[in-house]
Amino acid sequence: MLLEFSCSNFKSIKEKVTFSAIATDDSKNEEFLRKFGDFRVLHTSVIYGPNGSGKSNLFKAIGFVRDLVLKSCEKKAGEVLKQPRHKMASQDEKSEFNIQFIMGNVRYAYGFVLRNNLVSEEYLYYFAREREEIVKVFEREEGEVCLGEKFEENKVLLEITKDELGDNRLLLSCIGNKSGICEISDAFLFFKLHLVIHNMEVKSERENCIRAMMENEEMRKLIISVFNELDSDIKDIRVEDGDEGPRVKVVYDEFETDLAYEESTGINKLFDLVLPMVQSFVNGKVMIVDEIELNLHRNVSYKIINLFNTHLPNNSAQLIFTSHDISLLSLNLFRNDQIWFAQLGKDRATELYSLVEIKNIRADENIAKGYVMGRYGAVPIFKNNGGVVR
């Protein structure tokens, strides 16, 4: 599970902003939470704000971190990294990224600093389960790596830090698959397998998701129940092996269709979003979706959000998304600490804050109305007919 993410000097984000999925001590809707040690962690979170406020850039920053962890080890000597700075930042101003997460029932803290398109600092810690003591795996500053006491004699780490690490590569990227140390490999696998950032333009995951559905009856039933929220008359989904891979058949009362060749573009787009979301739910992954309503009917959005909110016993699945759809903005669907806002402040820089930070919110308050009236900032822009500009 994702606990917290912060960054600075990334696109519209200038000063440090912090997103947190750690619940407050509010006792409302305890079923929306998962207990982890002294923490209570939220299963869903939503971010509202006008276009251009930086909502998407927060998710792009998370994706940026994930991609560097997974791919920077492939950088060649002399090749610099991309460092998407804020427009008002100087060339040598640092960009900082920090993330805390749970993997394998262990809490991790990881982060790095980029300066002049190169890595200048990096760290990885975890918290010992017994007393929540922080344990250093490594710290890195200007090319010098300091290993934690527990790992000082690991030959693989010593060899990698000497021979393979360049200032255009993250150390976690270089050692994630090679160290043989579970604290390192698990941290790497969080980014590789458990942090899912949805992109409707990428269809390569469809086949993987279909194969997963073939092997998981619970996943298939959940997908059918989501589609039923559309009053689509879909009765079943079958998968057949075809010459070019698995083929999905959508079953109705009196006939069936081939999803790829006979169903509408809308149903295919919906399928490409719903399938990985349900797979993430069943497999306990972190699913990040930008503007969830662009491809989901309102009823389907409600169904998906409630699915993650109520979750399964011991399930660690999370759904973190942005939206313009004010019909979702309700204290019946979210706790105060699940609702976030983004807006532009001075220097056209993104500010991020939670509804918890707004004073005097009543338990029965109409949050959607308060948002439209500008009570919480991050004011949406409206067309002449009153519709929200998206």
CA distance 333 to 320: 14
In this structure, are residues 208 and 225 in contact, taking their beta carbons and an 8 Å threshold? no
Which pTM was predicted?
0.92
CA distance 110 to 251: 46
Phi (first) and psi of residue 311, to 5 degrees = 50, -165
In this structure, are residues 33 and 23 in contact, taking their beta carbons and an 8 Å threshold? yes
Phi (first) and psi of residue 249, to 5 degrees = -110, 125
Q: Which two tokens stand for residue 203?
A: 């269809």
pLDDT (average), residues 308-333: 89
Q: Which two tokens stand for residue 77?
A: 């000597």
Say what the pLDDT of residue 153 is. 82
Residue ranges per structural domain of the chain: 1-198+290-390, 202-283
> In the chain, what percentage of residues exceed pLDDT 70?
94
In this structure, are residues 22 and 1 in contact, taking their beta carbons and an 8 Å threshold? no
Band the pLDDT of 358: cuts 50, 70, 90: very high
Q: Which two tokens stand for residue 229?
A: 């929220």
Say what the pLDDT of residue 389 is. 45
Query: What is the CATH topology of the domain spanning 1-198+290-390?
Result: Rossmann fold (3.40.50)
Say what the pLDDT of residue 382 is. 56
Residue 390 has pLDDT above 70, yes or no: no
Say what the pLDDT of residue 126 is. 96
Q: Which residue has the tokens 């150390």?
A: 171
